[in-house]
């Protein structure tokens, strides 16, 4: 057995429970299928020429889902390769810099075995700039990125992406300013009208509507997919258990360590209390539990300790936001009804606004919309989708943990007693 206190062990744990986006198409990556979302995204990727907008709460696994489905399409020969560009909210991140990032990511994404075959196409595409240089290399191109992209217009970008068979992924798109949103909106239009190719936009917030605002016709050229938390507590536990198995750690429910059904149920409940199907939170929990595991085993007590610590740290991290939420609910008490309803349904899911209106049938539809808009305007929720009919929470961990401690006050009072704003919220929800 590995020395669990060693640097190697910590590295192995972080590799298995990696909080960064992962490619679930690789055999050595822990992955629990999200059947509906994977089916929908695969369907969008294989049919028609639509671009795709993938939105949802922070930490829900949007980027991992995209990476996984695209990798499977590449392995089947439906696409050549994929280039991912992550946007930032740095003040100097503008359209000119994004053009450079797109070019760099496109070149770097081409495997060496394919670059040789694509060299002629790339030379032809860039001939006016690089002078038809023969036997170009990746290094040669990357050193000239500024010269290549400074006069690039939208047709130049789309033609280049299309000619070398890249599917372009723009991630963290909520960080795009109006200049970039407008330029990308136009790029989607040009690509749809003139070049074969596919662009996937990924991000939190109402990224779909922002793009549509610049060009209403994009509504016919782009498919929208919302990704929220994993479906059930058992699926969340299945993800963690797969990671424990990969690390050769026995755990409640594992074959190597018979345990009572009550231990397994308690473990599933504890994972749900703090992480509730959010991929990033599950990986963080998996790291915390595994690094401290003793004698190759994960006990229920260790899971409980890590879960309670995560809940406490979440309450601490978001105490200012809890105070803001309390002030809003004090001024708009009816909105508590909506928030309670969403917490009961599973706050880290995404919701159809029309379903919410039907479920809260004792309120007039306009009142329900008013409750929703109050929480959206305060930046606690987002309305997205083709008709802004999709609703999801901005900070899912914050809201889920609030729901946990409010619904189980006897169990978690020690975690939230020291936070005045959470205490005040708990009184409002009684």
Q: Give the CATH number of the domain where residue 371 resides.
A: 1.10.10
Assess whether 296 and 370 both reside in one domain: no
Assess whether 82 and 143 both reside in one domain: yes
The domain in which residue 301 lies consists of 7-16+230-316
pLDDT digit string, tens, across residues 344-399: 999 999 999 999 999 999 999 999 999 999 999 999 999 988 788 999 999 999 99
Assess whether 196 and 327 both reside in one domain: no
Which residues in 16-91 belong to E strands, given as ranges?
51-55, 81-86
Tell me whether residue 21 is in a domain: no
Assess whether 348 and 373 both reside in one domain: yes
Tell me whether residue 78 is in a domain: yes
Provide the pairing of β-strand 198-203 with 390-393: unpaired
**Domain-terminating residue out of 287, 316, 345:** 316
Q: Tokens for 74, please give them.
A: 């590449």
Distance between the two ends of the chain, CA-based, in angstroms? 50
Write down the pLDDT at residue 7: 79
Q: How far apart are CA 403 and CA 273, in angstroms?
A: 9
Assess whether 214 and 254 both reside in one domain: no
Write down the pLDDT at residue 190: 95
Q: How far apart are CA 177 and CA 175, in angstroms?
A: 6
Q: Tokens for 373, please give them.
A: 């808009």
Assess whether 120 and 185 both reside in one domain: yes
Tell me whether residue 136 is in a domain: yes
Mark the ranges of the chain whose per-residue pLDDT is less than 70. Answer: 1-5, 132-134, 256-259, 294
Assess whether 210 and 359 both reside in one domain: no
Write down the pLDDT at residue 92: 86
Write down the pLDDT at residue 37: 94
pLDDT digit string, tens, across residues 114-163: 888 888 888 888 888 877 666 789 999 999 999 999 989 999 999 999 99
Provide the pairing of β-strand 351-352 with 381-384: unpaired
Q: Is residue 32 within 8 Å of residue 235, measured between CB atoms? A: yes
Question: SS3 letters for 377-413?
Answer: HCCCEEEECCCCCEEEECCHHHHHHHHHHHHCHHHHH
Assess whether 330 and 306 both reside in one domain: no
Write down the pLDDT at residue 132: 64
Which of 141, 110, 111 is closest to 125 using CA atoms? Answer: 141
Assess whether 283 and 396 both reside in one domain: no
Q: DSSP labels for 280-320?
A: HHHHHHHHHHHHT-BTTB--HHHHHHHHHHHHHHHHHHTHH
Number of domains in the chain: 3
Q: Which residues pair with 393 in a beta bridge?
A: 381
Assess whether 56 and 186 both reside in one domain: yes
Q: How far apart are CA 249 and CA 295, in angstroms?
A: 9
Tell me whether residue 27 is in a domain: no
Helix (H) or strand (E) holding 170: strand 166-171
Provide the pairing of β-strand 222-226 with 51-55: parallel
Q: How far apart are CA 312 and CA 304, in angstroms?
A: 12
- The CATH number that applies at residue 93 is 3.40.50.300
**Domain-terminating residue out of 284, 316, 348:** 316
Provide the pairing of β-strand 351-352 with 51-55: unpaired
**Domain-terminating residue out of 294, 316, 338:** 316
- Say if pTM beats, i.e. exceeds, 0.75: yes
Tell me whether residue 126 is in a domain: yes
- The CATH number that applies at residue 291 is 1.10.8
Question: SS3 letters for 334-383?
Answer: CHHHHHHHHHHHCCCCCEEHHHHHHHCCCCCHHHHHHHHHHHHHCCCEEE
Assess whether 294 and 372 both reside in one domain: no
């Amino acid at each position: 057995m590995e020395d669990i206190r060693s640097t190697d062990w910590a590295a192995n744990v972080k590799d298995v429970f990696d909080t960064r986006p992962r490619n679930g198409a690789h055999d050595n990556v822990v992955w629990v299928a999200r059947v509906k979302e994977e089916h929908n995204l695969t369907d969008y990727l294989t049919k028609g020429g639509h671009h795709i907008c993938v939105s949802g709460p922070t930490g829900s696994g949007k980027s991992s889902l995209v990476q996984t489905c695209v990798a499977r399409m590449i392995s089947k020969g439906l696409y050549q390769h994929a280039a991912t560009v992550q946007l930032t909210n740095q003040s100097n991140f503008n359209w000119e810099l994004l053009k450079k990032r797109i070019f760099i990511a496109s070149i770097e994404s081409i495997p060496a075995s394919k670059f040789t075959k694509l060299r002629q196409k790339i030379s032809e595409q860039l001939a006016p700039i690089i002078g038809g240089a023969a036997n170009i290399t990746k290094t040669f191109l990357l050193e000239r990125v500024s010269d290549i992209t400074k006069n690039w217009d939208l047709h130049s970008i789309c033609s280049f992406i299309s000619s070398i068979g890249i599917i372009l992924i723009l991630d963290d798109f909520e960080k795009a300013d109006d200049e970039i949103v407008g330029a990308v909106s136009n790029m989607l239009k040009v690509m749809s009208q003139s070049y074969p190719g596919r662009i996937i936009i990924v991000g939190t917030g109402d990224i779909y509507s922002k793009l549509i605002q610049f060009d209403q016709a994009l509504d016919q050229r782009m498919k929208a997919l919302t990704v929220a938390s994993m479906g059930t507590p058992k699926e969340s536990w299945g993800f963690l258990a797969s990671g424990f198995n990969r690390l050769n750690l026995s755990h409640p429910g594992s074959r190597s360590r018979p345990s009572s059904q009550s231990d397994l149920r308690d473990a599933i409940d504890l994972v749900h209390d703090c992480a509730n199907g959010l991929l990033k939170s599950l990986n963080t929990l998996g790291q915390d539990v595994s690094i401290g595991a003793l004698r190759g085993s994960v006990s229920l007590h260790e899971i409980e300790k890590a879960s309670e610590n995560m809940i406490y740290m979440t309450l601490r991290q978001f105490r200012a936001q809890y105070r803001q939420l309390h002030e809003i609910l004090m001024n708009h008490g009816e909105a508590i009804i909506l928030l309670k309803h969403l917490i009961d349904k599973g706050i880290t899911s995404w919701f159809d606004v029309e379903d919410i209106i039907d479920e809260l049938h004792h309120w007039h539809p306009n009142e329900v919309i008013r409750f929703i808009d109050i929480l959206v305007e305060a930046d606690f929720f987002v309305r997205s989708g083709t008709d802004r009919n999709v609703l999801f929470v901005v900070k899912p961990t914050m809201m889920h943990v609030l729901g946990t401690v409010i619904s189980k006050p006897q169990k978690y009072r020690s975690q939230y007693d020291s936070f005045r704003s959470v205490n005040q919220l708990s009184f409002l929800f009684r």
